Amino acid sequence: AVVSTQSGHYGRDFDNSSPFVNFGTDAAHHGSDPDKWDFKPIVPPISLSTTFKQPAPGQPPVYDYSRAGNPTRTAFEECIAKLEGGKYCVATSSGLAATMLLVNTLKAGDHILCCDDVYGGTNRYFNRVVSNFGIEITMCDPTDLEKFKSNLRDNTTMIWIETPTNPTMKICDIAGVVEIVKKRYEGKQVPKVIADNTFSTPYFQRPLELGADCSINSVTKYINGHTDVVMGVISTNNKEFYDKLTFLIMAVGPCPSPFDCYLALRGVRTLHLRMRQHETNSLAVGRWLEKHPRVSKVIHPGLPSHPQHELAKRQMKGFSGMLSFIIDGGKEEATLFLQSLKVCYDSCICAS
């Protein structure tokens, strides 16, 4: 259901910025130049070939094997890199595959400092899989920068932040974390700062422009937006790190299918339109829930009641459709509430 705008820009209580310039145009056109192909298609074709003819052994003109690269995948990656304000992008078979690819740049004895409220799949992967390979994991509240700083170690090689977090919608100060890391490791090897941008999308937030080394998204959610693709992306401005990721996607193999890349490229073209309406709707729902006698707490970074509302306004261009809220009672009451919904569905995926 479409909810009318309440006040401000798209229902916000502020209008300190407009969406990133030319976002919709870039989403529709970047990576899809018809002149890439001899037959000038307006929509990039789905290239299903797994292998490509070479003029001589070991001399592929562009592509050699579809796990390493594919024309349809390249079109999607170029589009996402542009939208993230980055130079490079690697698409993967899922959001967690993107996480795995990043962790594969580490080695035994390394340390990951991760925010304590994080997507359940990331938490499970870090603590039940990665920890078995000699990589240490520390979970810490990202809203307390001094506490976050105190958990940095000499062997910390990766900082993992998610903002807003899933599911309690904490806001991580990306620029603040980057500044702390640079000062702590001045003159040394600086840990990579990874920001999970899934809940914001590049339409409302660009971690790379705030100093993060990589921005990661689960394409499955907002970017594709149609609940019919499972994919992930990693964007960066670091050519050396990008080359390492492209080697790993060939060596480890978590590449997306050309058809999924085609669908996601189709989906991202309407991202700017969908995110505006998501924001409008979620703010209207959040304001309504705040007044409901059976709701004890609403957590939405776009509402003044959010403890980091001011940080969210500085760091983000707006807010998505995500919010959390607490109702009176316990598990039984929460289950009854979910079973009684008429428009929304109780499912394990969000943001579509």
Q: What is the pTM of this model?
A: 0.94
Segment holding 158, helix H or strand E = strand 156-162
Q: Look at residues 241, 240, 237 and name the one whose alpha carbon lies nearest to residue 207.
A: 237
Q: Which residues are catalytic?
A: 67, 119, 196, 221
The Cα–Cα gap between 52 and 48 comes to 11
63-72: pLDDT as tens digits: 999 999 999 9
157 φ, ψ (degrees, to nearest 5) = -120, -10
pLDDT category, 344, cuts 50, 70, 90?
confident
Segment holding 295, helix H or strand E = strand 295-299
Q: What is the DSSP string of 112-149?
A: EEEESS--HHHHHHHHHTGGGGT-EEEEE-TT-HHHHH
Query: Residues 96, 98, 104, 105: what is their CA dihedral angle, to the nearest 10 degrees?
Result: -140
pLDDT category, 222, cuts 50, 70, 90?
very high
pLDDT reading at 95 higher than 50 = yes
254-286: pLDDT as tens digits: 999 999 999 999 999 999 999 999 999 999 999
Distance (Å) of CA 296 to CA 234, 292, 328: 37, 8, 6
How far is C-alpha 291 from the chain's CA centre?
A: 31
pLDDT category, 1, cuts 50, 70, 90?
very low
The Cα–Cα gap between 292 and 290 comes to 6
